[in-house]
Structure 1
Amino acid sequence: MHNYPPNTVFGPAINRLTDVMEHCDRFAFRGSARLAHDAGVSPSSVGRLIHGQINPSVLLVLRIRDALERQLGFSIDVGDLIAECGRFRTRYLCEAVKCRGCLPDRATGTNLELAPAFVGVEPGEWVTSKYPNGYAQSEVGL
C-alpha cells in the first residue's frame, strides 16, 4: 500500500507583510525581528511567512495582524495581509493601509529607474511589491 501525498487543492498563500511594514516607521529597521517581538512570535516564523515558505496558522497571522494594527493605529483585515492566490479583500495596498498613494521601495532600482514590473503602475495602485498588478494564477497553472 502506498501513501501518496494529497494533491494540492489550494493556491499559493500570497502575503504582503513587507509592504505593510514599509508603511510603519517602527519596522523600517530590523522590521521582521521587531514585528516578531511585537507579535510575541519567533523571528524565524515571521521570516518564513514573509518568504512564502510556510502556510501559517491562524494564531500566527492574528498575532502579526494585531502587532501591525498597533503601529498603523487602525484595524486591518487579515484578508488584506495574506490571501490565497493573492485575492486580497482590498485590491490596492495603499487603500488597505490608508496611504495617500505611493510606490514601494522595490519599484525603483539602484539608479532610481522604475523597475520593469512597475512600468505603467500608478502610485497607490499596486497590489504587492512582488506582484504589482496582482498575482496571475496562470503563473502556476491553476
Structure 2
Amino acid sequence: MSFAVHQQCNEINLLISQIPFSFPSILGLKDIVINDVLDIQVIIQHLSFGGKFTTEAVTYILQRASQVFKQEPNVVEINSPCTIIGDTHGQFYDLLNFFSTVSSGRYVCLGDYVDRGDYGVELFLLLCSLKVVFPSQFVISF
C-alpha cells in the first residue's frame, strides 16, 4: 500500500471514529406510559432515532388501540377541515416530516401503512399510539 493510500485510510478511520454512534436502547412499558397515558413525545423521539420497544410495550400499544377502534362505529362522519393521509407505504420519516409541516385538527389515514417501505412497523405503531392519545383527532382505516 502506498503512503498516500495509507494516509487516506488513516484520515477516513479518524473521521469515522469521531462520528457519535450508539444503538438506541429498547424501551419498555414503564418508559412509554405515565399515569396510564402513552407518552407520545417519548414514542416519537425513540422511533425517530431507530429505537425499538419490548414485546410488552408493543402489545400494550396495540391492545389499547384495539380498544379505541372497537368503540368506534364502522362508518365515521368527518367534518372539515381535515387532512387526508394516504398510501404511506412504511415511509415513517416522511410521515414525521408531514406532521411537522401540517397542522390540522383532524387526520384521516387511508391505509397502505406497511408495504414497500422500510419502517412499516414503526409507522403503524406511531399511528396506533396517536389514535390512543388523540382518539377523536385520528381516523385510521384498514
When normalised by structure 1's length, the TM-score is 0.27
When normalised by structure 2's length, the TM-score is 0.27
> Which of 1 and 2 has greater Rg?
2
More helix, by proportion:
2
More strand, by proportion:
2
